[in-house]
Amino acid sequence: MTDRFSTLAVHAGEERRKPYGAITTPIVQTSTYTFADTAEILDFMERKAAGRSPLRDEYGRYTNPTQTVAERKLAALEGGERALLFASGMAAITTTMAALLSDGDHLVMAFDCYHRTREYARTFLHRWGIETTLVGIDRPGEFAAAIRPNTRLIFAEMPTNPYLRVPDLPAVIEPARRRGILTMVDSTFATPINLRPLDLGADLVVHSASKYLGGHNDLLAGVVVGPAEVLAPVEHARGVLGSISNPHDAYLLLRGLKTLELRVRRQNENGRRVAEFLAGQQAVERVWYPGLPDHPDYGVARRLMSGFGGVVSFEVKGDFETTGRLIDRLRLPYIGPTLGGVESIVEQPAALFSLDRGERRAAGLKDNLVRYALGIENAEDVIADLEQALAGL
């Protein structure tokens, strides 16, 4: 399958003959779609009522032709039946959970995940009568042990942010499937190039498409992929809540997806080389990269993933201030909170999370942690820059 990713990325979901003979899918910039007459409206409504796909679109909050092509391409890349595009990765997560969970339901979630996802579960879902149990990923049995009679969804990231932990996904999925519980995986850090959770048995996979899928740090989008039947209430909720993407971002996403495999393969290589370099530096206390043998999930990662990604997290020998000085000494990467683009970006997660040290500790963020998201630059240049920055500490 992996040798076909580039072909899918370029051609999947695209009409062979596009309007005006264009080679790229056009941006259909419209907020609404008009009808020729009442008979066309009635035909449209009859097809919807019968569960058949309408022959045309109705309103921009529900769908858009540019968006539809991006969704078809994303579904093909993940090996899913249906994909839904959203305004952001968080919109994809929040809308999906809101659609699938109700008052009195229970959610099991890995603690080691994006802090805004945890915040949504602990605040908004809790406010709506949905309880969340946070579990560690070191032992898959913790997920099974947390299941209750009212558990409806299990959610995990793979790899996690920022420590790049890799849960044993099949071991998490098996007890959930036996009990009829849905599983949802945020695979933003992996991309479908390195991991396809649906192939491992997950029901849903979600991405912040702003990251690797777009790949150029110029769009915001999110996507959830899975069976059409499971996603039907999610699509309805998207139309009601208004969390849809826009045609410009869908167009940029289509453009970015065409080079996805090329970029990710390069970022995998850069990640591996930088991780191996950092592992040999005296000024570095620990490196978190699932492609290194001393990573706690190395065996799981080798079994489930075809590549280990372009994000390397590491701990500096020093305190909060020392780590900040290292960040400031780096000349090549930009300083910021994102990842997955062609430009390398570095951050001190603790600095961007909270000024309160206690809050940082409660979130599991060490003051001396650095997250380096590799772009597609030459690895030798990245390593030389790291070397000079570390030498100055």
For the chain, how many residues are written? 393
For residue 205 the two structure tokens come to 């996979």
CB 290 within 8 Å of CB 164: yes
Give the residue carrying structure tokens 């826009």: 246
59 is known as an active-site residue: no
Could you tell me the two tokens for 286? 């620990």
Cis previous bond, 159, omega within 30: yes
Q: Active site residue: 73, 112, 114, 212, which one? A: 114
Distances (CA, A) of 168 to 174, 287, 317: 11, 21, 30
Instruction: Write down the catalytic residue from 105, 112, 168, 186.
Output: 186
Distance CA 73, CA 101 (A): 28
Residue 215 has φ and ψ, to the nearest 5°, of 80, 0
Q: Out of 47, 61, 286, 329, pick the active-site residue.
A: 61
Query: From the candidates 152, 196, 211, 265, which is the catalytic residue?
Result: 211
Contact (Cβ atoms closer than 8 angstroms) between residue 389 and residue 318: no
DSSP secondary structure letter of residue 111: S
Q: Whole-angstrom Cα distance, residue 245 to residue 290?
A: 32
The C-alpha atoms of residue 8 and residue 312 are separated, in whole angstroms, by 28
Query: Is 18 part of the annotated catalytic residue set?
Result: no
Respond yes or no: is residue 165 known to be catalytic: no
DSSP-assigned states of every residue in 145-195: HH--TTEEEEEEESS-TTT-----HHHHHHHHHHTT-EEEEE-TTTHHHH-
Q: Which of 190, 181, 114, 189 is nearest to 148 (CA)?
A: 181
Give exposure, 5-19, as e/b (b: 16+ Cβ within 10 Å): bbebbeebbbeeeee
Sole residue written with tokens 């560690």: 136
Catalytic (active-site) positions: 61, 114, 186, 211
